[in-house]
Amino acid sequence: MTDTTVTLTGTGTPLPVPGRAGPGTLVRRGDWAAQVDAGRGTVLRLAELGLGCPDIGLLALTHHHSDHLVGVADLVLTRWVQGGFDPLPVLAPEGPTARFARRLLDGWADDIEIRRRHTGRPAPQGPDVLAFDPPAAPAVVWRSADAEVSAVSVRHEPVEPAVAYRFDTPSGAVVVSGDTRVCAEVEALARGADVLVHEACRGAAVRERGKRFIADYHADTVELGAMAERAGVGTLVLTHLEPAPRTDEDAAAFASEVRRGGYTGRLLVGEDRLTVPAGEPAVQHG
């Protein structure tokens, strides 16, 4: 039995859809937990999973699109309210994403001051921003006793920089794509991974709805299937689903297109709170 798991804390996009929080992925090994991105509703999803914000030992941000970041201040401030007074380590590519993290608490100064004076608790420390230059090829950007984290630049132009992350633990390897087109960079990062959590866009369906600009910088499902097969990924988990599936038939269409691309491994169309133990059967929380 593995002790490395992946949980989708949010599978949505900028448009609100009932039951789908904003983009986010939780990677856990034993008592250690890392959150990748924090879209709307992330703190509530963590609470539903039995986690407090102080339980998060690392936050890794992929890029500066608002749907991936609007829950970050909630995570940091709630961490403080729940008694987490140490700064939260935040991995971020240097540029707009790192600048956002450094300025995170600026707009909350008055709220923080009145809470500090009223409760007597120390003021929160801002995030410990661990900025790195986005690498063109997979490179290690952070290490701990629980995980080695690598990153690579991805193809989400005109949003630059944007990165994907790989978590290598003693009991499994997990890759989270962030937002990107299907690209060789993620393929290299994901080679041999136990679990690849990748955004998915039904390109033809999106273009039919007149949203070509969305399809142009997100991952086409058919191309994704081919890439995941080449990379030898054990389990492919689809998230950031566009257009958002509202029926079982919609979800089946995502899976069908990935299979049409050639992927033969275990395939899961993501729902919020879906948990995937690396190398073990998936579990859907009730």
How far apart CA 242 and CA 244 sit, in angstroms, is 5
User: Which structure tokens are listed for 50?
Assistant: 């039995």
**Residue 232 falls in which region: left (phi positive, over 0), alpha (psi -120 to 50) or beta:** left
User: Which structure tokens are listed for 207?
Assistant: 């273009």
How far apart CA 219 and CA 256 sit, in angstroms, is 15
Residue of 67, 146, 220, 272 marked active site:
67
How far apart CA 180 and CA 200 sit, in angstroms, is 9
How far apart CA 91 and CA 144 sit, in angstroms, is 13
Helix (H) or strand (E) holding 36: strand 32-36
67 is catalytic: yes
Active site residues: 67
